[in-house]
Amino acid sequence: MSKSIFREYDIRGIYEQELNESTVKNIAYYFAKEVLSKVPNAKYISVGYDARTHSEQLCEWLVSGINQAGLEVLTMGLVATPINYFSNFVEFDGKKTSASIMITGSHNPPEYNGFKITIDKQPFFGDDIYALGDKVIDNTITIEDHINATFVDAKEQYIQYMIQNFSHLQLTDKKFVFDCGNGAAGSVLREILDGLKLNHKIIFETPDGTFPNHHPDPSDAHNLIDIKKKLETKEYALGFAYDGDADRIAVLSPKYNFKGDVLAIFFSQFIENPTVIGEVKCSQMMYDIINEYGKAIMYKTGHSNLKVKIKETNASFAAEVSGHLFFNDRYFGYDDALYATLRALELLHNGFDYDAQYEKLPQLFATDEININTTEEKNF
């Protein structure tokens, strides 16, 4: 086992090397014990997984560890990460989860996988993850297979929630293109769009953990070539692309790719007295503009950091340049690329002209991520 799998925001490693049967079962066991110590009357942990080829096996190992610790599992099968988060805010025939684990490698190469974790609706990260890692490394026990779990249809509840909350959209005169990148977005997107009677074209829809068409990272321009070709036909008003687990989005018109800080300006204009949290990579211009009619707060990069800051400040919205968008206005304060899609379409419904509004902005300078190839050991 490598301690390097215990990261600031999640647990992540290579399947069967760092994420092997013993390690995963022990992670689940000691995490469930943590839930029991922190949440009064805890009974359930909800677990979902993305499209990676080994996600289902990791799910069985997690279920075994959770059962060994004395909690029960509500399993939802293949879902997008936002649906896993959503499970914390709803009930399933009277059953209510006290924590959640999403099995996902997000936008990492196919051999990777990992866990995004919450307790009592809040992210489990930083020192909590490091402490969990210490327990797992110091106290490894043998856990037999015990894969009994209760299936809950979180996906259907999520679909109905989205359809009910965006039933007012009237966009039949426009067409939109969506690139799921063979990630988890493809497991749910069509049903939402059809339910809202939106005119759409979906490419690379089928979830496939080998990612046969392109890598599911919309922050990398190389992965947007296919959707840009569709937009060049001028047939589509907007395009949307997702990462592997659908908590990150790219929003494009035929002319522009609107990064997270630009979208923060656009969305905040339709929120009364907005408080908006950005991160250090956002343009200073974003903060200056939003401060003219609301309040903008600069904070640390990282989805877990921003969720905690949203709760602390009761902010309306938060954004990362990379496409993590967090709506606390009319929503639950976590990053959800599918919900962000519908809010983006709602702007069009309200008469918003993306290109014209973008061209009115002063020039924005933002910091793109710089990624350097290295080993996990050298990284740390």
Structure tokens at 359: 């061209």
Which has more confidence, 370 or 232? 232
pLDDT digits (tens, 9 = 90+) for 41-74: 999 999 999 999 999 999 999 999 999 999 999 9
Angle between helices 337-349 and 260-268 (to 10 degrees): 50
pLDDT digits (tens, 9 = 90+) for 145-165: 999 999 999 999 999 999 999
Predicted confidence band of residue 96 (pLDDT cuts 50, 70, 90):
very high
Structure tokens at 287: 């903060």
Give the C-alpha separation, 266 to 369, whole Å: 22
What mean pLDDT do residues 305-320 have?
A: 96
pLDDT value of residue 380: 66
Which has more confidence, 363 or 230? 230
What mean pLDDT do residues 91-111 have?
A: 94
Q: CB under 8 Å to 44, separation ≥6 — which residues?
A: 71, 72, 73, 74, 95, 96, 97, 98
Q: Domain 3-154: what homologous superfamily?
A: Alpha-D-Glucose-1,6-Bisphosphate, subunit A, domain 3 (3.40.120.10)
Structure tokens at 334: 């976590």
CATH number assigned to the domain with residue range 166-360, chosen from the 4 options 3.40.50.720, 3.40.120.10, 2.60.40.10, 3.40.630.30: 3.40.120.10
What mean pLDDT do residues 344-367 have?
A: 94
The residues annotated with a catalytic role in the active site are 106
What mean pLDDT do residues 363-378 have?
A: 79
303 pLDDT above the threshold of 80:
yes
Predicted confidence band of residue 274 (pLDDT cuts 50, 70, 90):
very high
- pTM, to two decimals: 0.95
Neighbours of 362 (CB within 10 A): 9
pLDDT digits (tens, 9 = 90+) for 3-39: 889 988 899 999 999 999 999 999 999 999 999 999 9
Predicted confidence band of residue 370 (pLDDT cuts 50, 70, 90):
confident
Give the C-alpha separation, 198 to 95, whole Å: 33
379 pLDDT above the threshold of 80:
no
Using the CB atoms, write b or e for 161-195: b if 16+ within 10 Å.
bbbeebeebebeeeebbbbbbbbbbbbbbebbbee
Q: Quick one: which of 317, 342, 201 has its CA closest to 265?
A: 317
Mean pLDDT of the chain: 95
Segments making up each domain of the chain, as ranges: 3-154, 166-360
Are 3-154 and 166-360 the same fold in CATH? Answer: yes
